[in-house]
Amino acid sequence: MEKIRVNASKEYDVLMGEGLLENAGAMIKSVCGASRAFVVSDTNVFPLYGKTLRASLESAGLEVFEFVFEAGEGSKNISVYSDIVENMCVAGLTRSDVAVALGGGVVGDITGFAAATYRRGIAFVQVPTSLLADVDSSVGGKTAIDLANGKNQLGAFLQPSLVICDTVTLKTLPEEEYQNGCAEIIKYGMYGDRELFEKVEAAPVKENYGSVIARCVDMKREVVEADEFEKGPRMVLNLGHTFGHAIEKLSGYKVPHGKAVAIGMNIITTAAVKLGFAPEGTDERLRNVLKKYSLPVETSFNANEMAAAAAGDKKTYGGTITLVIPTGIGSSELVKVPVSELTKFALAGGLR
């Protein structure tokens, strides 16, 4: 088992290894000291790992309650959130109890937001079961749900008390979810670690799960510790996300997050080369890696549609938005631009 300590406003450990789920109850009990655990999962993950987690929690002496919702980004809404907190209330959870997210990014986001707002905050543990959640969404304390007008528009910062990444769960990961996770890993390499980029360029991520996940978590730890509430440096984690979120919104969330980010990375990197931020060939090299992992690089949405959707992104401040622009493989910079210039970047990125 590998452990990475995150020293944010709340200090916590990210545990990574095989077979951790069977001992999750004892780990959670030790950290949180709760007597009740409210497990939130979805219809894809719960049938696979719900029984194991429940047995582990009960063996540690916790009373267990469960809430399972329909899998998919479409469930990350205010209605499902309302059902979760209502059921927390019915279960009689108090501020000394713990919410446990068993699943991917959607489960972690909505469970974290419920924990952040129920009784003004209860303890929260992440048990990610997807590659994307392992390397990104389970760490850092961002919690949210989507609104009709945009992704992650209603949220709060709540650092988890513990993150348990059992890599055994990746063995049941559908190919599309593997690809989505790889998109976020490529993002890490692209914005700030040339060596990581070259590693995933040279060999499949699944051949190096342990070292790749650990490196991504450590990179996220660094930026979270430097800028927990995303006022500056943490924004580098949004590489590809401005246009990626626009694609998700415009597609009615039919395009999953990882694939949308892959397209968003290609758009902004192509624009970076054309506008002189990055050297020639940077975009082509990125596209080659994305295609290697069967990730898309194009969208049917045009520049005006994308710019309008991106203008409503939560990262806008007044009339400006901060873009993460690659300056090469493994390096990037934050550039604040007027929202009115989003169309220019979209066109430079190859959109019509």
| pLDDT value at residue 3 | 98
Tokens linked to 127 = 């048990």
Active-site residue flag, 230: yes
**Which one from 234, 249, 259, 287 is the annotated catalytic residue?**
234
Verify whether residue 238 is a known catalytic residue.
Answer: yes
- Active-site residue identified among 44, 152, 180, 238: 238
Q: How far is CA 145 from CA 80, 172, 309, in A?
A: 9, 26, 17
Question: How far apart, in whole angstroms, are the C-alpha atoms of residue 238 and residue 188?
Answer: 10
* 262: confidence class by pLDDT, cuts 50, 70, 90: very high
Kindly name the residue from 151, 241, 259, 287 that is annotated as catalytic.
241
| pLDDT surpassing 90 at residue 252 | yes
Q: Which residues pair with 179 in a beta bridge?
A: none
3-class SS letters over 88-114? HHHCCCCCCCEEEEEECHHHHHHHHHH
Q: What is the mean pLDDT of residues 64-77?
A: 97
Give per-residue pLDDT as tens, 179-192. Answer: 999 999 999 999 99
- Residue 87 annotated among the catalytic residues of the structure: no
Is the pLDDT at 276 greater than 90, yes or no? yes
Q: Which residue has the tokens 């749900």?
A: 145
Catalytic residue (one of 245, 249, 259, 287):
245
**11-41 core/surface letters (b: 16 or more CB in 10 A; e: else):** ebbbbbeeebbebbbebbbebbebebbbbbb
pLDDT tier for residue 107 given thresholds of 50, 70 and 90:
very high
Q: Which helix (H) or strand (E) holds 260?
A: helix 257-274
Report the distance separating Cα 196 and Cα 39, nearest Å.
34
Where residue 249 falls among pLDDT bands split at 50, 70, 90?
very high
Which pLDDT belongs to residue 318? 83
pLDDT tops 80 at residue 100: yes
Q: Is the pLDDT of residue 4 over 90?
A: yes
The pLDDT of 160-166, averaged and rounded, is 98
Q: DSSP character for 134? A: I
pLDDT of residue 310: 94
> Is residue 269 scored above 80 in pLDDT?
yes
Domains of the chain are 2-172 (3.40.50.1970), 175-348 (1.20.1090.10)
Out of 36, 54, 220, 259, the active site residue is 220
Find the mean pLDDT for residues 272-291: 98
Instruction: Choose the catalytic residue: 36, 142, 249, 259.
Output: 142
Res. 313: pLDDT tops 90 = no
Looking at residue 200, its pLDDT comes to 98
Q: Does the structure show a pLDDT above 90 at 330?
A: yes
pLDDT confidence of residue 149: 86
Determine the pLDDT at residue 244.
97
Helix 46-59 to helix 24-32 angle (10° resolution) is 60
pLDDT of residue 98 exceeding 90: yes
If you ran DSSP here, which 8-state letter would residue 231 be given?
S
Mean pLDDT of 72-86: 97
**Is 257 among the residues known to form the active site?**
yes
Name the maximum alpha-carbon separation found in the chain.
60
pLDDT of the residue at 333: 98
pLDDT at 16: 97
Catalytic residue among 44, 73, 151, 184: 184
Say what the pLDDT of residue 202 is.
Answer: 97
Catalytic residue list contains 245? yes
Which pLDDT score, from 0 to 100, does residue 315 have? 73
Active site residue 302: no
Band (pLDDT 50/70/90 cuts) for residue 14 is: very high
Among 120, 171, 231, 352, the active-site one is: 120
Tell me the per-residue pLDDT of 38-56, one tens digit each, with 9 for 90 and over. Answer: 999 999 999 999 999 999 9
| pLDDT digits 0-9 by tens, 198-230 | 999 999 999 999 999 999 999 999 999 999 999
pTM of the model: 0.96
